[in-house]
């Protein structure tokens, strides 16, 4: 299978970015998108050309580092699929494929498809944790938690922090990410003690870093590779209002 790639090339946040056309002449339908890029980079390297810089780590759909906008959609648009799990059988011979990085003010481009997502870490550092005794591990049944509460918290904890919600939102909002991180702790006994401090600190960190606000476009949920629900944005807003009183 032959593809024509239009890849975003940029040497840094202050560089003038551009799309560069690169041929991928021998693509297997069984390859993942990242494996295809590996082969393209091998050809570029052998020709003495600058390879395409892109992020990756686990390649198992877990870490979220493979953040790319493919044909205008974060992670390629296949439901609940990261780029590393997107297979080339989703494309057709002769397709032209546009590959771009996350584009948001809070995600400055480091090089090509690699962006600085430290803003999400700043939000987590502001309050995405609980302060608790770290001595001997308590018995699992020492603090009983109902299954509906546990399920709700686990659904929120599915967020892998890839940033697709920010990249797809016209406001570059991180409220789905922040909402998921607030919600997963807010409903648990361990997280209630610091709930007010947490939501205020994390919301303020997101605002200071340059992330926008939610205006109900629902693009974040549509592009999330883990299907995190916008109901957690509602939970974030309720927790924020509770913290104000």
pLDDT one-digit tens code per residue, 113-158: 999 999 999 999 999 998 877 777 777 778 889 999 999 999 999 9
pLDDT one-digit tens code per residue, 80-121: 999 999 999 999 999 999 999 999 999 999 999 999 999 999
pLDDT one-digit tens code per residue, 158-178: 999 999 999 999 999 999 999
Among the listed ranges 45-54, 131-140, 236-245, which one has the minimum average pLDDT value? 131-140
129 and 75 together in one domain: no
Q: Are the C-beta atoms of 205 and 122 separated by less than 8 Å?
A: yes
> 111, 127, 162: which is the final residue of a domain?
111
What is the domain extent for residue 12?
A: 3-111
122 and 233 together in one domain: yes
126 and 228 together in one domain: yes
Q: What is the CATH number of the domain that holds 149?
A: 1.10.1060.10
Q: Across the chain, how many H-helices and E-strands are there?
A: 9, 7
Distance, CA of 42 to chain centre: 27
pLDDT one-digit tens code per residue, 185-223: 999 998 999 999 999 999 999 999 999 999 999 999 999
> 111, 140, 155: which is the final residue of a domain?
111
pLDDT of residue 139: 77
> 54, 76, 111: which is the final residue of a domain?
111
86 and 161 together in one domain: no
pLDDT greater than 80 at residue 227: yes
pLDDT of residue 163: 97
Nearest to 109 by CA among 31, 195, 16, 191: 16
pLDDT of residue 111: 97
106 and 139 together in one domain: no
Phi-psi region of 92 (alpha: psi -120 to 50; beta: other; left: phi over 0): beta
Over residues 53-76, the mean pLDDT reads: 96
What span, in angstroms and rounded, lies between the C-alpha atoms of 219 and 168? 6
Integer distance in angstroms from the first to the last C-alpha of the chain? Answer: 61
What span, in angstroms and rounded, lies between the C-alpha atoms of 97 and 91? 9
pLDDT of residue 127: 95
Q: What is the CATH number of the domain that holds 29?
A: 3.10.20.30
67 and 144 together in one domain: no
pLDDT of residue 49: 97
97 and 134 together in one domain: no
User: How many folded domains does the chain comprise?
Assistant: 2
132 and 233 together in one domain: yes
pLDDT of residue 43: 97
What is this structure's pTM?
0.94
% of the chain exceeding 70 in pLDDT: 99
What span, in angstroms and rounded, lies between the C-alpha atoms of 172 and 170? 6
24 and 90 together in one domain: yes
Helices (H), 88-194: 118-127, 147-157, 164-168, 175-186, 189-192
CB count in 10 Å sphere of residue 27: 22
138 and 189 together in one domain: yes
150 and 38 together in one domain: no
93 and 150 together in one domain: no
pLDDT of residue 133: 72
pLDDT of residue 142: 80
């Amino acid at each position: 299978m032959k593809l024509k790639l239009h890849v975003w090339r940029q040497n840094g946040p202050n560089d003038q970015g551009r799309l560069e056309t690169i041929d991928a002449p021998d693509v297997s339908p069984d390859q993942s998108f990242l494996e295809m890029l590996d082969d393209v980079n091998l050809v570029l390297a052998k020709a003495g050309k600058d390879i395409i810089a892109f992020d990756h780590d686990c390649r198992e759909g877990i870490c979220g580092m493979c953040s790319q906008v493919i044909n205008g959609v974060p992670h390629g648009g296949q439901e609940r699929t990261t780029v590393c799990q997107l297979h080339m059988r989703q494309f057709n011979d002769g397709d032209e494929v546009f590959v771009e990085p996350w584009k948001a003010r809070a995600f400055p481009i480091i090089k090509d498809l690699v962006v600085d997502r430290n803003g999400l870490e700043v939000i987590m550092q502001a309050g995405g944790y609980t302060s608790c005794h770290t001595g001997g591990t308590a018995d699992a049944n020492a603090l009983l938690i109902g299954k509906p509460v546990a399920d709700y918290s686990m659904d929120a904890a599915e967020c892998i922090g890839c940033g697709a919600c920010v990249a797809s939102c016209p406001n570059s909002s991180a409220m789905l990410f922040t909402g998921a991180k607030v919600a997963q702790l807010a409903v648990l006994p361990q997280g209630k003690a610091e709930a007010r401090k947490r939501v205020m600190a994390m919301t303020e960190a997101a605002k200071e870093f340059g992330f926008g606000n939610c205006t109900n476009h629902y693009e974040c949920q549509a592009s999330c590779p883990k299907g995190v629900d916008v109901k957690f944005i509602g939970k974030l807003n309720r927790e924020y209002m509770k913290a104000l009183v």
